[in-house]
Amino acid sequence: MAAVSSRLPVFPWDRLEPYKATAAAHPDGIVDLSVGTPVDPVPEPIRAALAAASDSPGYPTVWGTPQLRDAIAGWARRRLGAPDPGHANVLPVVGSKELVAWLPTQLGLGPGDRVAYPRLAYPTYEVGARLAGAEPVVYDDPVALDPAGLKLLWLNSPSNPTGRVLSKDELRAAVTWAREHGVLVFSDECYLELGWDSEPVSVLHPDVCGGSYEGIVAVHSLSKRSNLAGYRAAFLVGDPAVLGELLQIRKHGGMMVPAPVQAATVAALADDAHVAEQRARYAARRTALRTALEGNGFRIEHSEASLYLWATRDEPCWDTVGDLSKRGILVAPGDFYGAAGERFVRVAFTATDERVAEAVRRLT
């Protein structure tokens, strides 16, 4: 078996450790804006549902409880405009990162197959292709790809890291092209409920998919919209033939969402109030950080959605990381997400109000 080091890229955040140490040495402490991990409390109704289901001695089902499948289908219909989803159109998964990393393997892809993803992208798309032995391919425009050997096309809107939102026309063009060439589309939409300057649209919206689930699957997570990163709660909505195959594979692999987390997911999807409250927190932090960065000579590109500001001072990203670390502020270098990001940094606004205020103070 090939060594992991020969199959996978270096884990990006390991390279950030020296800068983290510099930032941590600041007399007023580090402001860590490098990772988009939630810091606000898990909403009380979700915690109550988790606790009420804590006496769950038996194995959960891979497919999820009927209540969970109902909740996912109902949310997809209400929030995404998905065309009449049923139980066969949904599948819970153990966090979206696990799904991204292992999807090519679970689809049976390997040498000779190609997996495409945006040029600026979350590193796990490439990792998933390499774990399966498939060829990772980047694109600027999916419809310009060579379809030869292409088996899986990743879309990501809103984008991590840039916050870019694809329009209905762009999404529809990608779906139409993929169907014409027999390419399976997975759309990573984990930030869809965090649009700021535009309203993100799902690949499952009828204006995009034409009212059909054929060849498309949307990926969603509760990590960001409900502060549930620690729960590893995510799910898929889409083509029942694809989800049926994944269900069988995941049954054999024992890939089950824990029963208390399934119950918590039902509660989370039934309550929109906590999502609105969390959006308000993020909106205030976003405005404060954006104003401070722009006042400090940064230019913000895209960033119309998601939990990040895609910022540049038109210098190498590691120079920016180094300068900010001396002020006790840690950000992610843009080249973590591809060579095209080498002059940008990704600034997360997932720190507490107090830490965001401290970052603003140091920048201004």
Q: Are residues 147 and 12 in the same domain?
A: no
Q: Are residues 244 and 302 in the same domain?
A: no
Mean pLDDT score, 162-182: 98
Residue 343 maps to a domain? yes
**Which residue, 159, 194, 205, 189, is CA-closest to 275?**
194
pLDDT averaged over every residue in the chain: 95
Q: Are residues 263 and 331 in the same domain?
A: no
pLDDT confidence of residue 66? 97
pLDDT confidence of residue 2? 54
Q: Are residues 166 and 94 in the same domain?
A: yes
Whether residue 93 has pLDDT greater than 60? yes
CATH number for the domain harbouring residue 331: 3.90.1150.10
Whether residue 12 has pLDDT greater than 80? no
Whether residue 211 has pLDDT greater than 70? yes
Q: In this predicted model, what pLDDT tens digit does every residue of 110-122 receive, in sequence order?
A: 999 999 999 999 9
CATH number for the domain harbouring residue 60: 3.40.640.10
At 125, give phi and psi (nearest 5°).
-60, -45
Q: Are residues 150 and 16 in the same domain?
A: no
**Rounded Cα distance, 223 and 201, in Å:** 19
Q: Are residues 109 and 123 in the same domain?
A: yes
pLDDT confidence of residue 3? 54
Domain with 156, as residue range(s), is: 55-271
**Rounded Cα distance, 129 and 186, in Å:** 13
Whether residue 1 has pLDDT greater than 60? no
The residue from 218, 251, 271 where one domain ends is 271
Q: Are residues 261 and 322 in the same domain?
A: no
Q: Are residues 205 and 67 in the same domain?
A: yes
Q: pTM of the predicted model, to two decimals?
A: 0.94
Residue 25 maps to a domain? yes
Whether residue 196 has pLDDT greater than 90? yes
Residue 46 maps to a domain? no
Residue 49 maps to a domain? no
Whether residue 158 has pLDDT greater than 70? yes
Mean pLDDT score, 2-14: 65
For residue 329, the SS3 value is strand
Q: In this predicted model, what pLDDT tens digit does every residue of 268-297 receive, in sequence order?
A: 999 999 999 999 999 999 999 999 999 999
Q: In this predicted model, what pLDDT tens digit does every residue of 45-62 receive, in sequence order?
A: 999 999 999 999 999 999
Q: Are residues 147 and 220 in the same domain?
A: yes
Crossing angle for the helix pair 96-106 and 240-253, to the nearest 10 degrees: 100
Q: Which residues of 53-71 are buried (b: 16+ CB within 10 A; e: fewer)?
A: beeeeeebbbbbbeebbbb
**Which residue, 6, 242, 7, is CA-closest to 110?**
7
**Rounded Cα distance, 350 and 285, in Å:** 8
DSSP per residue over 273-295, as a string? HHHHHHHHHHHHHHHHHHHHHHH
Burial of 250 (0-12, 13-18, 19+ CB in 10 A): buried
Q: Are 140 and 338 in contact (CB under 8 A)?
A: no
Residue 47 maps to a domain? no
pLDDT confidence of residue 14? 82
Number of domains in the chain: 2
Q: Are residues 33 and 65 in the same domain?
A: no
Q: How far is CA 92 from the centre of its chain?
A: 15
Q: Are 203 and 175 in contact (CB under 8 A)?
A: yes
Q: Torsion angle, CA of 39/40/46/47, rounded to 10 degrees?
A: 80
pLDDT confidence of residue 7? 67
Q: In this predicted model, what pLDDT tens digit does every residue of 315-347 receive, in sequence order?
A: 999 999 999 999 999 999 999 999 999 999 999
CA atoms within 13 A on the CB side of 193: 25
pLDDT confidence of residue 195? 96
pLDDT confidence of residue 74? 97
Q: Are residues 185 and 305 in the same domain?
A: no
Q: Are 137 and 150 in contact (CB under 8 A)?
A: yes
Residue 91 maps to a domain? yes
The residue from 205, 236, 271 where one domain ends is 271
